[in-house]
Amino acid sequence: MKHLLSITDIQQDIFKILEQAEQFKKGLINGEPFKGKSLAMIFEKASTRTRVSFEVAMFQLGGTALYLSTSDLQLGRGEIIEDTARAMTRYVDGVMIRAREHQNVVKFSQYSDVPVINGLTNLEHPCQALADLLTIYEKKKTYKVHLAFVGDGNNVCNSLLLAAALVGMDLTVVGPPAYQPDPQIFKKARELAQKSGSKIQLTSNLSEGVKDADVIYTDVWISMGDEEEASQRIKDFKDYQVNENLLKHADPNAIVLHCLPAVRGQEITEEVIEGDQSAVWDQAENRLHVQKAVLYNLLDNLLEKG
């Protein structure tokens, strides 16, 4: 059974999935390949883009999606993951899960009869990274660019590190030393980068880290689940804001990405997110095209068939 829990789960197929996402966007893959198919979407945390893009992707391709909040499921009353997974996956063709603990999604997949897709955990956000790559490719016509990720070495940063390393993109994480990405993921990204020929780096020096960058990426300082640390984080990240001054150090044609939701005035300024260099709305749109390609490959077992 092929799952998408980490972006590395699709490392052999990443370029194929991205090409298909482009084809979906251009309307070149038609029909209703998901006719009669169902996707269960389990949400333990809030979502706008992930929920709507997966639901609409299923609908547009002829299938249906079920929005399942954990507070409405028996999971919320203590039914164990093992039992939920074995029962639920007798009904549906795929499951997308947004969960607090990555290990819980791994456990669900171990008891699932159908493909499981990570819709964000504390550790990774692989579908987001795919949409980010598609956006960068559309704007820069190559993956061989330098991306500077400014801020928190969180789930979004972790998946981006691995994704960049897989496609040969240089990535510098620029943030406070106490908020670096997951060390195992960073190590894995470096190993992958050796094969693809990209450079994966860490620095806390802002101007050095974003120097000549082609893509500036940021995410919130306070992710879902970090709310109790909010005041400390606002202090710790205050020098790592994506603003007009920071953009002066990047390449003049640099684009600015943000997975959204954004907090204007914290990790990014109003001027930058609304400015000419911002590509965040195209990036958000690309979630839809990427979800279609991910579902197309996983639900139809195309990745297993080769």
Site for ligand CP in 256-275 (CB under 6 A): 259-261
C-alpha closest to that of 147 among 2, 92, 157, 82? 157
**In a 3-state reduction of DSSP, which class is residue 27?**
coil
Question: By CB under 6 A, is residue 224 in contact with ligand NVA?
Answer: yes
| 48 touches, from ligand CP, ligand NVA, none (C-beta below 5 to 8 Å by class) | ligand CP
Question: By CB under 6 A, is residue 279 in contact with ligand CP?
Answer: no
C-alpha 111/C-alpha 132 separation (Å) is: 30
Q: 114 or 174, CB closer to ligand NVA?
A: 174
Question: By CB under 6 A, is residue 124 in contact with ligand NVA?
Answer: no
**259 catalytic residue (yes or no):** yes
**249 catalytic residue (yes or no):** no
C-alpha 218/C-alpha 265 separation (Å) is: 13
Site for ligand NVA in 248-277 (CB under 6 A): 259
Site for ligand CP in 115-134 (CB under 6 A): 120, 128
State residue 170 phi and psi, 5-degree precision. -80, 135
C-alpha 57/C-alpha 39 separation (Å) is: 10
**127 catalytic residue (yes or no):** no
Question: By CB under 6 A, is residue 189 in contact with ligand NVA?
Answer: no
For residues 205-226, one letter each, b for 16 or more C-beta atoms within 10 angstroms of the residue's C-beta and e for the rest, the string is ebeebbeebbbbbbbbbbbbee
- Shortest gap between Cβ of 19 and ligand CP (angstroms)? 22
Interface pattern 37-76 for ligand CP (x via CB under 6 A) = ----------xxxx--------------------------
- With contacts defined by CB under 6 A, how many residues of the chain interact with ligand CP? 9
| 218 touches, from ligand CP, ligand NVA, none (C-beta below 5 to 8 Å by class) | none
Q: Which residue has its beta carbon closest to ligand NVA?
A: 223
**219 catalytic residue (yes or no):** yes
C-alpha 303/C-alpha 42 separation (Å) is: 23
Rg (CA), the chain: 19
C-alpha closest to that of 33 among 293, 303, 306, 304? 293
Distances in Å between the Cα of 94 and the Cα atoms of 58, 71, 80, 181, 304 are 11, 20, 19, 29, 15
User: Annotated catalytic sites, by residue?
Assistant: 98, 125, 128, 219, 259, 287
The site for ligand CP (CB under 6 A) is made up of 47-50, 120, 128, 259-261
